[in-house]
Structure 1
Amino acid sequence: MFYLFIITRIRSRPLGVVLALAIAAVVADNAHAQHADVLVQTLGNRLATGSADFDSGSWTLGRRVYSSEFGSNWSVNNPGFNALAATSPSMPAGASRLPGNTSLAWDFMPMKIDGVLQNAFYWDGAGSTAAAVDFGALPGPDYEIALYGRNAPVAVDGAASLVAGDVIDVTSSSGALHSHRYLYLDSGNQNAAGPPVDGIYLLSLRMKMNGYDPSQPIYMVLGTPGSTLAALQAAESWVTAWADELAPDFDADFNGDWVVDGSDFLVWQRNFGATNARLVLGDADRDGTVGAGDLAAWREEFGLSIDSFAGAVNGTLPTPAVSVVPEPSGAVLALLGISALARCVRMRLH
């Protein structure tokens, strides 16, 4: 199938450079995998992701890792993004439709591998097993990977930061959505100096929509034309195994500053007893109520931050381990006003 598309590239540089690039290319579905889009629905008050598999006709929740290959023009528009209408018979059990006429957007997430925080990683693809996977810095200082949103492209360059994305698309009145956005791999100045280095590139996104908690991080594992299927599969398997640790997803970061600390405790305290609640009100366990279970989650995660979360380890697969989380000190707890909390609880019980 032929696609002729014109991209207006807006680079996020201090002065801003606006370039027009016309590309005519043959774009095919990923030859190494089924055509499975990113399914986005709601579970309670949070966005949830899964697989919209058009080959098998299966729509399921739980999937968070997706792989694809750049074409010879260094762009790819798979996987797409899909949401089912309210009346769809394919709606996964427990899931609900997205609200109608509402923007679905994304953020690029930072990831941590071997203690290094970056929003994009690269592996040369020299291997075919998890033990060979070795993600590191992008091949050059000018490398970027851009996702073209509804309004503008947004790129990541391997920096140690979250990057706010753009809009994927707007849902229909019934909550349905089906959109394919292009990813573009750039070694600098639209690859004018030469093609990108072959290998496997890794991105992380989280889906977001007004009125809902963002999704868990999802991952895009992207191979170049000169990379191998074995390397792509090895990288996808490795990322899948590390999906819960690779990018930050703190349950008790109620104020969204990527640090679990006393400020989050105060959010929980002020909203204790609230119903139909979201993470921003202190609902860490996402049961719709701010209660004791959410305080337990805060205590477990106290002290976590972008800098301190463990991340993933190259060449290995995670093994179950009992982590020791330091308890907040007595001074910290006093500062947070535990006595005031106790009085609040007693008042609600009486």
Structure 2
Amino acid sequence: MIKNILGGALLSAALLSQSANAEHFDVDLGVKPSGQVEVLNLAPLDKDTGWKILEAEFGEGENPYATDDPGFLAEDGTFNDFEPIWYNAVGQLHYFNGLEWVTGSFTEEVLLYGLRGEETIFGSENVFSGDTYGLIDRADREGGVHTHLEFEVDNFFGTGAPRDGAYMIAIRVYGDDHTASEPFYIAFNLGLDEEDFEAAIDLRAE
């Protein structure tokens, strides 16, 4: 029982740290002995897919509808020297409207910009335009990575601001010499109170 209490406390502390560290938040990357990339962050698991749900906030910079969090971090020795590291978009955009998570019935989209200018567009139906794959960065000479790309939410009709709520995309990460991670979600808060945003995550979590 003590073990369970300690485990729960550690998870709560990690999630609190992730939310509190709004100015700088990274997807921590590692590599399994099999050569598969893995996400090391402690995070809630989606009850339907089992994928981790990481959290971020739009509007932390000058643009209220953009953020460069999360970044991507791998310690020295994780990858091979100068190995290109990529993301791959998975599935459609999910939106929390204050009551439930929905797909396929809204006009907002989330864009992810790769390091070489790739533009990946997550829509309510699917990743319907742009680049499905994008470069995160090349590992440095020690096999480490630390890069922040830009995420943005907008209305694809070009009229009106995107609605407040939570937006969630899924990606996976791989290297030229390492196989792709399990997909993971990134949930972005746009204008919700912290309690409401956490309630939205709780609806998806195991």
Q: Same fold (TM over 0.5)?
A: yes
Whether the 8 Å contact between 2:112 and 2:151 is mirrored in structure 1 is: yes
Partner of 1:36: 25
**Residue 120 of structure 1 pairs with residue 109 of structure 2:** no
Q: Any idea what SS the aligned residue of 1:234 has?
A: helix
Q: Distance in 2 between matches of 1:194 and 1:43?
A: 45
**Residue 69 of structure 1 pairs with residue 57 of structure 2:** yes
Partner of 2:38: 48
Whether the 8 Å contact between 2:121 and 2:127 is mirrored in structure 1 is: no
Whether the 8 Å contact between 1:32 and 1:229 is mirrored in structure 2 is: no
Amino acid at match of 2:27: V
Q: Distance in 2 between matches of 1:181 and 1:123?
A: 24
Write the mapping of 1:167-178 to structure 2, written as runs, cut at 5 A. Answer: 167-178=135-146
Cα offset for 1:68? 1.2
Write the mapping of 1:20-169 to structure 2, written as runs, cut at 5 A. Answer: 32-34=19-21, 35-44=24-33, 45-51=35-41, 64-71=52-59, 73-86=64-77, 97-110=78-91, 119-126=92-99, 134-137=100-103, 140-141=106-107, 143-151=108-116, 152-160=118-126, 164-169=132-137
Partner of 1:230: 195
Q: Any idea what SS the aligned residue of 1:51 has?
A: coil
- Give ranges in structure 1 of 5+ residues lacking alignment: 1-29, 53-62, 87-96, 111-118, 127-133, 242-350
Partner of 1:94: none
Whether the 8 Å contact between 2:79 and 2:143 is mirrored in structure 1 is: yes
Whether the 8 Å contact between 1:221 and 1:235 is mirrored in structure 2 is: no
Give me the TM-score of the superposition, normalised by structure 2. Answer: 0.75
Amino acid at match of 1:208: Y
Cα offset for 1:232? 1.5
Whether the 8 Å contact between 1:139 and 1:197 is mirrored in structure 2 is: no
Indicate which of 172, 175, 193 corresponds to 1:209.
175
Q: Any idea what SS the aligned residue of 2:41 has?
A: strand
Cα-Cα RMSD: 2.5
Higher strand share: 2
Q: Any idea what SS the aligned residue of 2:202 has?
A: helix
- State, as a whole percentage, how many aligned pairs show the same letter: 20
- Higher Cα Rg: structure 1 or 2? 1
Q: Distance in 2 between matches of 1:161 and 1:188?
A: 13
Whether the 8 Å contact between 2:173 and 2:181 is mirrored in structure 1 is: yes
Q: Distance in 2 between matches of 1:237 and 1:124?
A: 14
Q: Distance in 2 between matches of 1:230 and 1:66?
A: 16
Give me the TM-score of the superposition, normalised by structure 1. Answer: 0.45
Q: Any idea what SS the aligned residue of 1:67 has?
A: strand
Q: Cα deviations across residues 20-51 of structure 1 (Å, max 9, x unaligned)?
A: xxxxxxxxxx9943243101121121101123
| Bigger shift: residues 197-206 or 156-165 | 156-165
